[in-house]
Structure 1
Amino acid sequence: MTDVVVDKNDLAGSLPSTEKEPVDPIEEKNQENQPAAAEGESAEGGVYRYIKGDLFTSEIFKVEIQNLPKYIGFNDLKKFLNKHGINPHKIKLFSKQMFAFVTFKNQEERDKAMKAVHGMQWKSKVLSVRLAKPKADPILKKRKQEEEAEGGQPGAKRAAGSQEVEEDEEEPLNIQIANAVTPLWNVPYEEQLKRKEKEVEGVLQKLTREIGNNNKAMLPWLFVQKEKYNKMCCPLEAIRPSPVQTEYRNKCEFVIGVGADGEDKTVGFRLGKYKGGSCAVVSPSETTHVSSEAKRVVQGFQQFIRTTPYAVYSPETYEGHWRQLTVRTTRTKQTLAIVFFNPQKLQEEEIEELKRNLRQYFAEGEGKESGITSLYFVRMGQRTSSGTEDLPCEHVTGEEWIHEELLGLKFRISPHSFFQTNTPAAEVLYSAVGEWAQLDQDSTVLDVCCGTGTIGISLAKRVKKVIGIELCQEAVEDAKANAEANGLTNVEFHCGKAEDVFPTVLNAVVSPNVTAIVDPPRAGLHSKVILAIRRAEHLKRLVYVACNAKAAMNNFIDLCRAPSNRVKGAPFRPVRAMAVDLFPQTMHCETILLFERVDYSSNTDTQTTET
């Protein structure tokens, strides 16, 4: 994905049902795309101003599908629409209310969908489709509400585009930003760990209920497990703490905007989200999780951009240039920085001059004290709001890579490659994964979503073969270089989507002892990967590393559900779980689950597994 569409509704979140204003498609099919202005506001200056610009937004081609069947998911709706030749740009599903908002890239596709879906029957439900109004711009909506609350008078001068600063009522900025980015900063660490462990316990209790609902054959086993493990399907081992609790992040993404204190061209973190009506930025200087090396880069870069004539980018107006700064650091004292810049209508000569100035400033000038050893420049288009990992990086100065040491091994890291953000805690995590995988010299390890190859490479000397799969080409190149640098010859890596590559790789493995280790993004694995794992009966053990166990719940359920026409192969069941804290001062943690294949031939589906 090289160009991500800026869509205010993406930034704003889902439109609540109380705000939808549908129009009958039969009577109003040929009406204007633009919504009528709300009472007392002009279309040009109101909360829908963004749809009047030159930029694409699918919000003007938006419909509401009503009377959807119960219990359908996002993928069900997407497949249903695709089956009927409908290609939506974006879907927002409200399954409990049985309706969805669907947007399209143009009026032709929208009208085609309305004609095809309106009146169609799906699972005994007759669907209806209506046009829907765009989502109001959150910043402008909040500003309008504030002005109305003040009796219709324009509000006082606000910092960062709508945040009123009332010193008598608001907490100091350093407290506000700490609450925003490290919400547990004032909670004792032992208490943080207890909260995270309790959160994972809740996930396992929910998984236990879901397994019972989706695989009746496991109910006897589940009954025994629940009695032994506090309503959980498997034992939850004590959470493993992070060796360091402060300055642990080796990668930080800093936004560039107007400071909450009114200072222009501020580099740091946002106090809130755009959908909350805020663009205010606060310096990371007093945050506890950012390293001193990264803070030094932020300070030097902020000093540089304040000397330039280029403005910060505004997500409200789409104007301006400076957008983001990403800083990656290592324990080997190397620092990589990526500058994200929107060229707008600047000439190529101006861009090249800017890069020369960046190079001079950080390689020879005042910015040299920042300690940057590798500097990259990324051009972001008007339509780019997220997915920056896929944008081309232009090398400006310094080394091409930074290098890290982990578990006595050396790793090369490219600008966009994934590497766990807390290196000391990652060592704890990977050591636990290696222990749980129960490997020997005859084992073959499938390392899915392998990033720079850290997990597979750390286990390679203990097994016969490691096969890694990773979507990011940069990371795959890093992984290959890392295997070579560590003298490993039994490791291979494949680039591509896991759902495309994994089934082929898995079917080619003939080893009698196959273990899969998956460390997917927050949303979890594609259902095709889960189905391939289920079909591969020779795969008996799977270690799942989840950075968001709640988001991965569907993966867990599919691994354990009863066999069916869709889900082939004997199910797995969870036999061991543990949380590892990679993100002190926040509620996030990594969760490891060990799944083992149910062996019906020995009737182990009704027995418990001791650990």
Structure 2
Amino acid sequence: MSFIVQQHDRLNVYVEDLTHDGSGVAKVEGYPLFIPGALPGEQVEVQVGKTLKNYGFAKLLEVIEPSPQRVEPPCPVFWDCGGCQMQHLSYEGQMIQKQKQVRDVIDRIAKLPNVPVHPVKGMDNPWRYRNKSQIPFGEQNGRIVSGFYKSRTHHIVDTDVCIIQSEEADLLMATLKREMLILGVDAYNERTHKGLLRHLIVRKGKATGEIMVVLVTSKRKFPEREAVVEMIKRVVPEVTSIMHNVNSEKTNVIFGNETSCLYGKSFIIDSIGDIDFEISARSFYQVNPEQTEVLYKQALDYAQLSGGEMVIDAYCGIGTISLFLAKQAKEVYGVEIVPQAIEDAKRNAELNGLDNAHFEAGAAEDVIPKWYEQGKRFDVLVVDPPRKGCDEKLLQTILTYKPKRVVYVSCNPGTLARDLRILEDGGYKTQEIQPVDMFPQSSHVESVAWLEI
């Protein structure tokens, strides 16, 4: 069909839909064109770029008839930066599109048209919500730059402000960039593998106000570090932890294996609801704590705990969901393949005085059968997998032991739909799905699904 549309063609098209990454979708005699920046309901002029057999890409030239939901993005680098995809769509419009995104894959992939997908639970103020910023530093045309990567590239879009991260992160990003030359610190160059500062990471406890700053450098030797530490303390007096991570590898992975404390303590404390968490430089912790509480309360509602249940938390991470569950269950058993996360989970259980939360490192599909062999019997299983969804072996493990209730927390509607279909074919019935907006201004949406055997 691609002969219908040729590269460099200028076309006037109607936008029907949005992709999962926020691009508009128009069809020319059935041939889909993906158009970044276009919104559903708009008539637009585009120029065709790359064409493949079953779809193509086009550049938005002009919005002829705009959507009533189109707004002016408040971020000055929105059109260049890859961090957000939907600032040009009103927040009400974002909620509608995210619900539709979940609804579409539940119908098309899970084949469950009668399962309710509720309206998305959004934020009252969908800005400044991120409690963690990972800011690359680099050198362009002889000057130091910092900001965020352009979409699908490692080109840094230079900026001093990001309106979805904390004000403290903005302040540190701008000040450090300005003062690096004075302090004698050069920025890392990915191409030449020269220069010192690779990344600035800022973590903020939204409930406690505690702030951690992590400096990722290419070398262990950092002669200017005392001056940098003093600068950070001057700019953000609330800082309670300054860490130094060394990454000398030729890689785009942010962290290296060596981390040391330059000032204060090696962790910060934050709270979600009435649960406290100890967060180190490399701990996984949800970046939007306000909506994390909404997400976890939804998972708790679907778990329907009365105090006597045995619960499994698969993919438990540092125990965030486990500890919420432990407040209302008889016993919670968490499993996670990353040993360091399990150590964090045990420490967090101790921090909150919860002795009914137990954690084990390993693959869930290996550990859960062992628990059953030990005579344990579970009423509820909660799963919160990465974007790729549940491991196929874990799904088969669930179908083998058949806990009465499954609560599936998902960050990817497509893999959620795929896994729901497998569980449905194995005898479970999906009762309902509640989407939650964890990442306003982006195209991502989280969901919680409730299943019964």
Q: Which bracket does the TM-score occupy, shorter chain normalised?
A: 0.7 to 0.9
The 1-side partners of 2:74 and 2:150 are apart by 12
Question: Deviation of residue 353 (structure 1)?
Answer: 4.2
**Aligned position for 1:268:** 147
Question: Deviation of residue 369 (structure 1)?
Answer: 2.2
Tell whether the 8 Å contact from 1:542 to 1:595 is kept in structure 2 after alignment.
Answer: yes
Tell whether the 8 Å contact from 2:75 to 2:163 is kept in structure 1 after alignment.
Answer: no
The 1-side partners of 2:187 and 2:365 are apart by 39
The 1-side partners of 2:231 and 2:137 are apart by 22
**Aligned position for 1:103:** none
Residue aligned with 2:317, SS: coil
CA distance 1:593–1:178, shift in 2 (3 Å): farther
Q: Which residue of 321, 329, 335 maps to 1:469? A: 335
Give yes or no for the alignment of 1:450 onto 2:316: yes
Give yes or no for the alignment of 1:322 onto 2:201: no
CA deviations 1:528-559 (Å, max 9, x no partner) are: 2122111113x121111111121444433332
Q: Which residue of 157, 160, 163 maps to 1:281? A: 157
Q: Which residue of 422, 425, 441 maps to 2:288? A: 422
CA distance 1:510–1:280, shift in 2 (3 Å): closer
| TM-score normalised over the length of structure 1 | 0.58
Residue aligned with 1:583, SS: coil
Give yes or no for the alignment of 1:578 onto 2:434: yes
CA distance 1:516–1:556, shift in 2 (3 Å): same
**Aligned position for 2:57:** none
Q: Which residue of 387, 392, 401 maps to 2:267? A: 401
4+ residue runs over 6 A deviation: none
The 2-side partners of 1:397 and 1:472 are apart by 27
The 2-side partners of 1:417 and 1:238 are apart by 31
Question: Deviation of residue 172 (structure 1)?
Answer: 11
**Aligned position for 1:257:** 138
**Aligned position for 1:588:** 444
Tell whether the 8 Å contact from 2:247 to 2:256 is kept in structure 1 after alignment.
Answer: no
CA deviations 1:221-280 (Å, max 9, x no partner) are: xxxxx6xxxxx2411122111243110001121111235xx5722221122333xxx623
| TM-score normalised over the length of structure 2 | 0.77
Indicate the larger mover: 372-381 or 193-202: 372-381
The 1-side partners of 2:272 and 2:339 are apart by 22
The 2-side partners of 1:361 and 1:323 are apart by 14
The residue type paired with residue 452 of structure 2 is E
CA distance 1:367–1:484, shift in 2 (3 Å): closer
Tell whether the 8 Å contact from 1:416 to 1:475 is kept in structure 2 after alignment.
Answer: no
Residue aligned with 2:106, SS: helix
The residue type paired with residue 326 of structure 1 is I
Could you list the runs of 5+ residues in structure 2 that have no partner in the other structure? 1-52, 55-72
The 1-side partners of 2:159 and 2:118 are apart by 38
The 2-side partners of 1:545 and 1:366 are apart by 37
**Aligned position for 2:252:** 385
Once the two structures are aligned, what percentage of the paired residues are identical? 28
The 1-side partners of 2:80 and 2:430 are apart by 37
Tell whether the 8 Å contact from 1:243 to 1:425 is kept in structure 2 after alignment.
Answer: no
Answer 1 or 2: which has greater strand percent. Answer: 2
Tell whether the 8 Å contact from 1:410 to 1:485 is kept in structure 2 after alignment.
Answer: yes
The 2-side partners of 1:558 and 1:588 are apart by 23
Query: Over aligned residues, Cα RMSD in angstroms?
Result: 2.7
Residue aligned with 2:258, SS: coil
Give yes or no for the alignment of 1:180 onto 2:180: no
Tell whether the 8 Å contact from 1:257 to 1:279 is kept in structure 2 after alignment.
Answer: no
Question: Deviation of residue 590 (structure 1)?
Answer: 0.6
CA distance 1:506–1:258, shift in 2 (3 Å): farther
The 1-side partners of 2:289 and 2:171 are apart by 20
The 1-side partners of 2:381 and 2:148 are apart by 37
The residue type paired with residue 201 of structure 1 is R
Question: Deviation of residue 451 (structure 1)?
Answer: 2.1
Answer 1 or 2: which has greater helix percent. Answer: 1
Give yes or no for the alignment of 1:558 onto 2:422: yes
The residue type paired with residue 146 of structure 2 is V
